[in-house]
Structure 1
Amino acid sequence: MGASESKLTFKEDVFRLAREDNIPADSQWWAQFYELPETADDVFALWSPTDVRNLTLNTAERPPPGTQLPPKKNLETLIYTCIARLHALQTRCCYSDPHQPIAHEVLNCIRILTRLLPYIYEADHLEEWERNFFWRERRPAQVWDKRHNRPGGYFDGLNPAKKYRDSEQGNGEEEEDIGERAIGAPLGEQLIDLLVRYMFFPNFTLPKKQDADGLPDLKVQYHIWNSGIGCRQSVGMTKENEKHAVEVIRLLLSLCSRQLYIPPHVVAETDTRPLTYLTTKPDRQVALSMICSLMNTVLKYNPATWRVPIDFTIEGDPKTKLVNLSLQLLLVLALYPDPTGEANQYRKSMSRLHRVEDFQFIQQGLTTVLTQPVSGMSSYLPGSQRNVPWAPEMLILFWELLQVNKRFRSFIIETDRAHDFVVLVLYYAMSAKDEPAKQGMVRMCVLILQTMSVEPTFGERLNKVFVGQESLPRELRIVNFHGSYADFLITSIHTLMTTTSGRLESIYPALLAVVNNIAPYVRDLQRATSSKLLDLFAQISSPKFLLEKDSNHHMLQLLLQAMNAILEHQFDANRRFVEVVVRSRKRFKALRDFTVEGATAELDRQAQERKDRGVGDVAASGVRSPRNGSIDSLRSPVSARSPQLGNVPEHGAFAIGDDDEDEPGDEMTSSATFSAPLSASASLVDDAVPMQSRSMSEKARGKQPVGQGSFSRSTSRNTSTASLPALITTPSSTTNTITASSNQQFRPTTEWIETWLPFLPLHTILSLLDHAARADSGAAAVPTTTAEHAGWKPGEEVAPPTSQAFQWTSLSLGWYLSLLWGFVYASDVATNKGMNGVWTGTSIKLFTILASQGGNVSLRSPKGAVDAVGSSIVQRLGSLSFNSPAKDV
């Protein structure tokens, strides 16, 4: 369509679709739509959003809310025309010249459907029509009798020449309702079957092939595209084949994008029919060919073989587009949790991978992409240290494989490969921590670490000495660092919690869960690492923090459990940690003697000191108001457990290891917040411990331990069954601090303290401190070696360690799906400028799109305060939930 005149004529016919409804379906006029356009840009430019929306309305005005009206009849006819042509081109030689390639018309039909579907999905008034038109058994279409201005006869929408007549009258039988007669499988299923076959169609997505008569072969061949998993030899796709595959996958993504138009709090529980059919109904051979083709295409990508300088843009090269879209389709299929309970065949296939060579292939493919910005090739290849655009999606793929395939998880964790992935995951978390638009990426990285840390072997492998830290990217380097991978991980966690101004408050529990999971296995923690753990304790045991909200003590409990695990399981191997704990004994004893009166008096004293020094009372008065605009608050998963999605088998919706053997724990639904400022270099041997134990009630005193007294003991790893909630904090004006929101309705009382203080897991630490005091009797100096504490043992038999695994819920799945679709949307916008994006300008409900400078987009996921949906889900998505403990993960 190079000539302007032909484009104007075509555009006039597009206008006619909306202006003149009920154009006869058997008219040859419809053929121009798949014959004339020459490129995808032609279709997207000549079918503007206004043109498409005009087809979705049955009247000149948008129908009132809640009104279910069908679209213009021309929209149905256009869809029938495209699907019918796709079927004809796949099943018979329907050209006058049988040697003419079919690609041109196939692509135009695909492009038209790709353009139409998002505008159908966004229209709430078409929801019932879309469900009936695409997913009910196909019924006859009906012509419009223009002469008499009334409904006419019935015909087959995919074959207008086939008419249906009324049954003969007068035979005493009731007339058949032709309009409700089933004449075929649902139209949506037929379309998906056609598209899947086109992914393996000779002369289109596979190399050219002729039949015995020398004509183009029309037989579908389910050959895996590239060598790798399940295949030793590639089929040899040409650039043209790759271009065609890109357009087919793009339409499949458009079909599956129904999820984009569902609010995040219900998306995981909503039956998305295209995804249900794709993931639960495929023939086994088709599913294996699909998943292997997609995975091999993604994992064989190697930027080192590309031209210099390396170009990672998706816009020009068909190979790059194919890799990116293949990864997105693979993840959209694999992440879908079918609400009907049927097994997702793609997850099932991923869970059954078991060959070591397949795992090596997967690991190499993942690291090739993820290590690109970390590799040190910049001196030879300028511009090579750049993130591959689909690196976030590769992290999702890695996380999925860890969750669904326990053999792959063992392959990664039981070798030094785990060290590489810890560094890589931390790199992406650290790189994104200061960018509000990337907080979902940070959350995902933390949950990947939590998933890995549930394996005992992971904690044991972290004791390897970390070398080469100085060669890491700037984002990962730690000044004067020396120690093990455990030291590196704990220090990085401390950095994420103390340098992000409260942006990551919702994942503090997950960060501390990682520390909890590795604590029983870490040995020889360095002094700096030990001090950072005590820094966190000093902050969350402060009066200000504990009195701010009635649930803040849960976070303190979680940290104490981690510290107990180190003392109970690795006491002799962590002399520096023991020394730091002993030097901080006044803080633990102050916590033991905590009272409301004493804590309030201490806060008043601190406030008076600041006033006397002329320091502003920003952090003292209470607390700043919560960050209602927090990205994390809008994205964070929740603590409520979903009955439909809990305890799924390994190949099911979302499983980690032997999930069917786990026992779900009780859950706490409250949230906690940090408040006290924290300096990463603060000394923990300061004697200025808060005087928070004054005016303690006799009843409370009777419950406190003396020496190795009678504290109700909750061991660090085996007695708590609570899911600890998220933190909701406010930004701080300084670095290395964590600030908190307050509960204005909460008034602490002595009765409230007695509900949790006697049950804090303090027994182990106080027992150690009591032993140290006796060993140190009369000495002027604080002991500096564990030899002086020799002979100390926990007062009771130590239970075996257990893990705190992340627990999926329907709302956390909503966050996860919004994260994935956010990546898909952003990638499409970056590739297709202006209104040429598949979903650009449509009314997406899964997340909020924020425009930014330079024409880029920023995603807030789930959808935020710009509409009523976002404001209603902020409270629902306020916390993370994880199971504590799991019996065997």
Structure 2
Amino acid sequence: MHIGVFILLLLSGERNFGVRLNKPYVTRVPMDIPVFTGTHADLLIIVFHKIIVSAHQRLQPLYDCLLTIIVNISPYLKTLSMVSSNKLLHLLEAFSSPWFLLAAPDNHHLVFFLLEAFNNLIQYQFDGNANLVYTIIRKRQVFFSLSNLATDTQTIAKLSTKNSNLPPTSSKKSIDQSANKQTIFQTNSKSTIDGEPQLNKEFSQQLNISSGGVIPSAVTTTLAETPSIHKMTERTLAASPNIDGNEHQRSGTNNEASPLSSQAASPSSPTMASSNHFQPTDNSLWSPTSEWVQSWKGKLPLQTIMRLLQVLVPQVEKICMDRGLTDESEIIKFLQHGTLVGLLPVPHPILIRKYQPNSGTVMWFRTYMWGVIYLRNVDPPIWYDTDVKLFEIQRV
């Protein structure tokens, strides 16, 4: 698993890899994933989602890498399916839950990665991603809640104290409680996201155990830790993707670059300074503060998404009411013919995090390689009466 993710991280730094992921996925490989019609990019996102929601403790150090891969390829993904769009929003729901954000000092970096991916898709590939735009509109409460995240000391202390006992409540059934219009747009009726709220609950509980508690095990192994993403990658600016010769006019820009967008593209942004969230650390010695939450909340790159919602939500509400739409496909058709020309902030620079060799990955690969060599040669017992020490096994 680790080697496969490292290879994908290396490939994701190349523009051609992202472009070729738009090729339709037609070869069906037996996998326990939802049936979908889409591209190889959809397959990648769906598989990554499955890896993350498994909440396996040994895979958690890979979350940074998985989301970095998604960010790297996001400017080039022309048409995401409804299934993969829902998976991305589901991840944001889980990672933006207050209890999860306050559980560890670096958990908020996962939210920055996902928001950066959404911004890339909106700014550079708006035309073909009506499914994603529709999903963002339906799940807009996630972004509103994130924007209104409490920063006062009393609320933070309350969440921190009861962190392990809080039920996950980030998923909401109703998108607009004040509306009386019973359409697909206003309510979470049956659609391709059925089953996700329950999955989100199980996922949240597992993440809470893994990040804040200890999973009992008879044997624990001490291996080389997965290097943090900022040590494995170097940041480079990529050329804007060529979208029908005029990508900026399609997505829409205005003449004023926002401070928030500049922060999102800045190397000093929390997104760029991400470290390994799930390295074994004693989180009981750390507690969130109001100053800490304020230090990164103000840098959340939400302006592009909020502007999109500000423009499109009233339009979709009006068309639903005027035409009495009850089918999400009709709303998606409307969004496909929509435009945000002149309404969005100036497109931010595309920041690609390219894999670079480092001492951490060298140590990891060396440990893995010798582990394979050792296990492949235990019969006949060529290691008998030797003092090979690849790793330590501690029985508890």
TM-score normalised to the size of structure 2? Answer: 0.70
CA contact (8 A) 2:55 2:207 kept: no
3-state SS of the aligned residue for 1:463?
Answer: coil
Mapped to 1, the partners of 2:35 and 2:62 lie a distance apart of: 27
- The corresponding residue for 1:842 is 386
2: CA distance, partners of 1:748 / 1:531: 30
Provide the rounded CA distance (Å) in 2 between the counterparts of 1:663 and 1:776: 38
The partner residue of 1:763 within 303, 315, 320 is 303
Q: Is the 8 A contact 1:443 1:507 kept in 2?
A: yes
Deviations 1:740-763 (A, max 9, x none): x87212222221111000101111
Please report how far the alpha carbon of residue 512 of structure 1 lies from its aligned counterpart in structure 2 after TM superposition: 0.8
2:275 matches 1:725: yes
Q: Which residue of 2 aligns with 1:802?
A: 351
Rg larger for: 1
* 1:634 and 2:223 correspond: yes
- Letter matched to residue 483 of structure 1: G
* Alignment CA distance shift 1:844-1:461 (3 Å): same
Deviations 1:449-476 (A, max 9, x none): 111111101111111111131xx2x3x3
Say which of 532, 535, 540 aligns to 2:90: 535
User: What residue is the counterpart of 2:339 in the other structure?
Assistant: 790
Q: Aligned residue pairs: how many?
A: 328
The structure 2 residue matched to 1:452, chosen from 4, 8, 11, is 11
- Compute the displacement of 1:632 (Å): 8.8
Asked if 1 retains the 8 angstrom alpha-carbon contact of 2:106 and 2:277, the reply is no
CA contact (8 A) 1:554 1:724 kept: yes
TM-aligned CA distance change 1:796 to 1:780, over 3 Å: closer
Q: How far has the Cα of 1:780 moved from its partner?
A: 5.8
One-letter code of the match for 1:844? Answer: V
CA contact (8 A) 2:236 2:353 kept: no
- Counterpart of 1:561 in structure 2 is 116
The alpha carbon displacement at 1:770 in A equals 1.1
Per mean C-alpha deviation after superposition, the further-off stretch among 592-601 and 518-527 is 592-601
Q: Find the counterpart in structure 2 of residue 750 from structure 1.
A: 290
The Cα shift of 1:484 comes to 0.6
Shift in Å at residue 504 of structure 1? 0.1
**1:119-150 alpha-carbon deviations (Å, 9 max, x no partner):** xxxxxxxxxxxxxxxxxxxxxxxxxxxxxxxx
Percent identity over paired residues = 27
Q: Give the counterpart letter for 1:828 in structure 2.
A: N
- Report how far residue 567 of structure 1 moved: 0.9
Residue of structure 1 aligned with 2:41, choices 469, 486, 489: 486
Between the aligned partners of 1:637 and 1:631, the Cα distance in structure 2 is 16
**Contact 1:560–1:716 under 8 Å retained in 2:** no
Aligned-residue Cα RMSD (Å) equals: 4.0
3-state DSSP of counterpart to 1:577: helix
Matched, 1:713 2:272: no
SS of the residue corresponding to residue 353 of structure 2 reads: strand
Counterpart secondary structure, 2:89 = helix
Counterpart-to-counterpart distance in 2, 1:565 and 1:477: 29
1:595–1:523 CA distance, 2 compared to 1 (3 A): same
CA distance in 2, matches of 1:507, 1:796: 32
What secondary structure, in the 3-state scheme, does the structure 2 residue paired with 1:804 have?
A: strand
Residue 608 of structure 1, CA deviation = 8.1
For 1:788 and 1:601, locate their aligned partners in 2 and report how far apart those are by CA, in whole Å.
46
1:496 pairs, out of 44, 51, 54, with: 51
Distance in 1 separating the partners of 2:167 and 2:119: 35
1:383-406 deviation per Cα after TM superposition (whole angstroms, max 9, x unaligned): xxxxxxxxxxxxxxxxxxxxxxxx
- Distance in 2 (CA, whole Å) between partners of 1:554 and 1:725 is 8
Instruction: Give CA-to-partner distance per residue, 1:720-750, whole Å, 9 cap, x none.
Output: 57242234289xxxxxxxxxx8721222222
Judged with a 3 Å threshold, the aligned counterparts in structure 2 of structure 1 residues 605 and 516 are, in CA distance, closer, same or farther, namely: closer
Choose the corresponding residue for 2:137, options 582, 586, 591.
582
**C-alpha contact 2:229 2:274 (8 A) present in aligned 1:** no
Rounded to whole Å, the distance in 2 between the matches of 1:633 and 1:593 is 41
Distance in 2 between residues matched to 1:664 and 1:841, nearest whole Å: 50
Write the distance in 1 (CA, Å) between the matches of 2:274 and 2:26. Answer: 34
The aligned residue for residue 591 of structure 1 is 146
Distance in structure 2 (CA, Å) of the matches to 1:664 and 1:801: 8
Are the structure 2 counterparts of residues 865 and 606 from structure 1 closer, same or farther at C-alpha, using a change threshold of 3 Å?
Answer: closer
CA separation of 1:841 and 1:580: change in aligned 2, threshold 3 A:
farther
Does the Cα contact within 8 Å between 2:93 and 2:142 map onto a contact in 1?
A: yes
CA contact (8 A) 1:503 1:631 kept: no
Which amino acid in 2 is paired with 1:712? L
The residue identity in structure 1 corresponding to 2:90 is D
